[in-house]
Chain A
Amino acid sequence: MSGLDERSKYLRRLVVDALTGGGRGHLGSSMSMVEVLRALYDSHLAYRAEDPTWDGRDRFVLSKGHGCLALYAILADKGFFPLEELLGFCRSTSRLGGHPERGKVPGVEASTGALGHGLPIGVGLALGLRMRRNPARVVVLTGDGEINEGSNWEAAMSAAKHGLANLTVLVDYNKLQSYGPTREVLDLEPLVDKWRAFGFATTEVDGHDVAAVETALRALPLDARRPSAIVCHTVKGKGFPFAEGNPDWHHKSGLTEADIAQMYACLA
């Protein structure tokens, strides 16, 4: 019913495993970006799971740190740390917290969680790589509610000024922020035009169509003299009918065994 293939369901099961461990988490926010992360880590980013700080790696910054469950799932799947660690999510002895931390979780480039920090950091990374003549690329994934924060647009102007073709912004545009629809809380439209106006080469894609996301990523940089922005149209809570488009599932705590069973059932 969800149209998700087995790998997408598998990655979602890893997220539910972590939710089971922590009893809480940003489910909706994580589910909208599973296919985008899958495309990034399966076919786009250069990395070495056994050597996470390898200098030749592409730098991926999850600016919407609250979506870390999906990031942890793909990092565990790729071998950055053991799959079993997902079960410790948010526990006092775990390195996997409710927001990802650099230096703690292998593969995490920046400690995020406060919103609007990833793109300024990404600009610094992209400038630094260029100064060092390092051809690695920088990809920053932001939320949609997140780009209410003005710091993103300060950074966007700077990225354009410096012609950072080695920098790409992906927007997880699930159109639902914590309180409700982005259109009602603080409308982002016309979103693609905004990025274009701020000096980015732009495209948009169905963020749950893995092949389409991969095609969009293969086209990077969209312009050799400008940063790129890909607006990924997604569905919050994707894969769980009760959570899709439902702001009540932006973040959930006090998850019951019945909740968890219902989630696994959706992924059968």
Chain B
Amino acid sequence: MRKTALDCVHELAKVDERVVFVGSDLGPGVLAKMRAEFPERWYMEGVSEQHIVGMAAGLAMEGFVPYVNTIATFLTRRCYEQVAVDLCIHDLPVRLIANGGGGVYAPLGPTHLAIEDIAIMRALPNMTVVVPCDADEMRRFMHRTADWPHPIYIRLAKGGDPVVSDAAHGFEIGRSIRMREGADGLFVTTGVMTQVALAAAAALEAEGVRVGVRHVHTVKPLDAEGILADVARVPAVVTVEEGILSGGLGTAVLEACSTDAPADLPKVVRIGIPDAFPNQYGSQQSLLAHWDITPASLADAMRARRRAAGAR
């Protein structure tokens, strides 16, 4: 997914001379072909995220569309004020490509685990937050980014994630995708949690329970209309995110219900990362299990919520 995102920056640069790449201190050879082809539009500025975001803002003020890339925690925590002031107050078309969303960097510990990135980016006015589920979707999304007039936070997964998206669904920023039909319940997901939910839905189907999956690649602006239309048709809703529960996708869905469909609020239960920094290493998979974000736990949550709703 990361390679696809960066390859897309190069592809965009070939057809759009406004496109600029700005990295911090990335691995050797990152976007080497773009560097060779467009040396003036390729920057590697060192371990200086506050500066990089401000510099990207200045470039955008001069009409460029900068794609900034580094590790998610550094691109959010370290330079939050620069993101808020330089990008969001000015409402500039800068793209933040954030490596390692959620538990991807499990072996590296809590300094590198982007658990609250979605929540804090979503809190900023003018910011768009996109979390694709696989490399194919990333490609479709990236080719829609050049003309989006606002800053975008792009959260990457580990890479090599199973491809579940479909070109037939297309991609429109701010429009969620119904990945699976089902009237007995609904998973509302983002990023690679969509794959986990699809697996849970398959397990439930074996029991005769048909559960839908709505993939919300754009957490902000939220497709409240599309999500609430599906919520209205089912007795139980489980939101799933590889992010801290306060302020993320689940919160956004509750907010939408609260505003436009308060009667549906009791249907919703949220699954995500609890309010604690992880105290173990391991792998993304082992952390997800630690957080109880697995197909089995999703299916359990769906069964429990259906029971609570009186569904058989």
Residues of A within 8 A of B (CB): 101-103, 109-111, 113-114, 116-117, 119-129, 131-132, 134, 150-151, 154-155, 157-158, 161
Contact = CB atoms under 8 A, between A and B. Distances in A.
B40 A121 contact: no
A109 B86 CA distance: 12
12 contacts: A110-B61, A119-B54, A121-B54, A124-B61, A125-B59, A125-B62, A132-B62, A151-B50, A154-B50, A154-B51, A155-B48, A158-B48
Contacts of A119: 54
A120 B82 contact: yes
A102 to B, nearest CB: 6
A151 B62 contact: no
Contacts of A122: 58
B107 interface: no
Nearest to A109: B61
Interface string B103-124: 0000000000000000000000
A91 B54 CA distance: 29
Which among A114, A120, A126, A155 has the highest number of chain B CB atoms within 10 Å?
A120
Which among A119, A126, A150, A158 has the highest number of chain B CB atoms within 10 Å?
A158
A132 B52 CA distance: 19
Given A120-B54, A124-B55, A131-B41, 10 more contacts: A103-B90, A109-B61, A110-B61, A114-B81, A116-B50, A117-B82, A120-B86, A121-B55, A121-B58, A124-B66
Contact of B55 (A103, A113, A120, A132): A120
Given A110-B90, A111-B90, A128 B62 contact: yes
Nearest to B94: A124
Given A125-B62, A128-B61, A132-B63, A150 B50 contact: yes
A125 B66 CA distance: 12
B46 A158 contact: yes
A158 B86 contact: no
Contacts of A111: 85, 89-90
B54 A123 contact: yes
B82 A129 contact: no
A121 B46 contact: no
A231 B293 CA distance: 56
B62 A121 contact: no
A157 B48 contact: yes
Contact of A127 (B53, B59, B63, B81): B59
A115 to B, nearest CB: 10
B246 to A, nearest CB: 25
Interface residues of B, number: 29
A131 B40 contact: yes
Contacts of B52: 120
B45 interface: yes
A140 to B, nearest CB: 10
B238 interface: no
A162 to B, nearest CB: 9
A116 B54 CA distance: 10
B85 A117 contact: yes
A261 B80 CA distance: 43
Contact of A131 (B54, B57, B64, B90): B64
Contacts of A120: 50-55, 57-58, 82, 86
A158 B61 contact: no
B62 A155 contact: no
Contacts of A157: 46, 48
Contacts of B57: 110, 120-121, 124
A123 B61 CA distance: 11
B135 interface: no
Contact of A117 (B54, B61, B62): B54
A117 B89 CA distance: 13
B56 interface: yes
Contacts of B41: 131
A83 to B, nearest CB: 27
A114 B85 contact: yes
A131 B58 CA distance: 12
Given A116-B50, A124-B56, A129 B62 contact: yes
B61 A125 contact: yes
